[in-house]
Chain A
Amino acid sequence: MRMRTAGILAGLALVLAGCAEVTKIGTSVGVATGRITEEQKQALDLSSEKASEQITPEQEYYIGRSVAATILASYKSFDQEAATRYVNVLGQTLALASKKPETFGGYHFGILDTDEINAFAAPGGLILVSRGLLRCCRSEDALAAVLAHEVGHVEREHGLGAIEKSRRTAFVTTLAVTAGKSLGKADLADLTKAFEGTIGDITSTLVNSGYSRQAEFEADAASVRILRSVGYDPEGLVDMLEQMEKAMKPGSRGFGATHPAPRDRIDAVRKLIGAPAPLEEPSARRQRFAAALGRI
């Protein structure tokens, strides 16, 4: 476990190296150097509250790619075609029933070759789920619940929300300055610095601190909504959380450190879905789940 932690930290260090020297080309600097007018500064500051208003789907896509590439430098991907295909057919179908079904590059799912119970949703729809978490799923309905929870994080743009506000301001300033001309070397360097910091903000949130409890409950609520819309039983979410509770070791990495306790999540989900009911699965569904992930 220590070696794994060291590996992740080493991988993260690559990205966070750019973070250490936090990019603070704030709007005030832009004004001081005459690069933008006071009027432009106010317009930028006013609009800097919501990440999605500044970051276009195309930019979200590039952020997501680099976040995923960072995570995939620390965790090996589990490239078993049948399992990957199955998770993608299910995941991409669930994503269509979310409130953000269309992203710039679409939703894509990958499996991480680790026993750790963990999952990461990079902005734009690149979703990584660990073998450890897949083992907490005893049915397709439970797997659907896990994938829909991650889609919920993309839908609510929780990843973009992890970007520090000062960094967003720096980014928007650079954009304003460079609008109307092609990017020079210095502009590209500024943008890359802001980009590096952005990837660091999101990755360290995903790997180390996790989103807020509220964000996790929101993703569970999104999962319940998506499951119902497509036709899966939200009892699958409760069943998965119960398995997770049993499998999770105290103080473990992954969900143990970044998510609310499974019991708290079950209590919140129960309020949404009502009294327990048996989870019934048609045999064809049960069989294909066992074939694809039975030995995960």
Chain B
Amino acid sequence: MLCSLLVLWAPGTLVSAPPPARLSVQVQNGQLRATPAFLGKIVGTVAYGAQVTALQSKGDWTQVKTSSGQQGWMHKSALTTRKISMSSGASAARTGASSGELALAGKGFNADVEREFKARNKALNFAAVDRMEAVRIPVKEMSAFLQAGAVKPGEGGAR
């Protein structure tokens, strides 16, 4: 009993494991932030599939360094430990990577499949979807919105 308590309280268990050294950006517009917070200033962008080096982690955030040497914080939902191959599957075969280690960009359900699907279902309203996607709110506008409405962050706040 005492032993298990000691294990639970051992300082080592409170420290998270070091993040994998290489991560890939798995979203269309990867954003680098100055601080590990969503309303933190955006200091740069990283392309889909780009590989970044993890420097340190803080909660759900990882500080990364891009191939051009730029540093910033990214949320874990934007990153994957899988390598994203941007070219054809040939490189997958060459490296011998399993599907668990490799995600093929543009494979599977992709723009080609959407085009086929659209051709077979002409009544579907993709124009309205495109209009929806065009609405992107800048982080600055979000911060101003919260401030103007006197919305104050609570526990685990986004700021």
Contacts and interface: CB of A to CB of B under 8 A. Distances in A.
Interface centre among B98, B99, B117 (most CB of A within 10 A): B117
Interface string B26-55: 111100000000110000000010000000
Interface string A161-182: 0000000000100111011111
Contact of A188 (B27, B116, B118, B129): B116
A189 B28 CA distance: 26
B123 A11 contact: yes
Interface in B54-69: 60
A102 B48 CA distance: 12
Contact of B157 (A88, A192, A231, A285): A231
Nearest to B103: A56
B107 A178 contact: yes
* SS of B interface (majority): loop
Nearest to B148: A284
Interface of A is mostly: helix
A284 B109 CA distance: 45
B109 A62 contact: yes
A290 interface: no
B6 interface: no
Interface in B115-144: 116-118, 120-121, 123-126, 128-129, 131-133, 135-137, 141-142
A92 B137 contact: yes
A77 interface: yes
Interface string B71-112: 000110110000000001110110000111001111111111
Interface residues of B, number: 64
A241 to B, nearest CB: 21
Nearest to A10: B123
B113 interface: yes
Interface in A74-109: 77, 79, 84-85, 88-90, 92-93, 96-97, 99-106, 108-109
B128 A69 contact: yes
Contacts of B26: 56-58, 104
Given A14-B123, A65-B114, A92-B137, A110 B128 contact: yes
Contacts of B148: 284, 288
A65 B150 CA distance: 34
Contacts of A104: 26-28, 48
A74 to B, nearest CB: 9
A59 B154 contact: no
Given A62-B111, A171-B109, 4 more contacts: A73-B123, A92-B142, A179-B93, A196-B117
The 3 closest A-B pairs by CB, nearest first: A102-B78, A72-B125, A97-B158
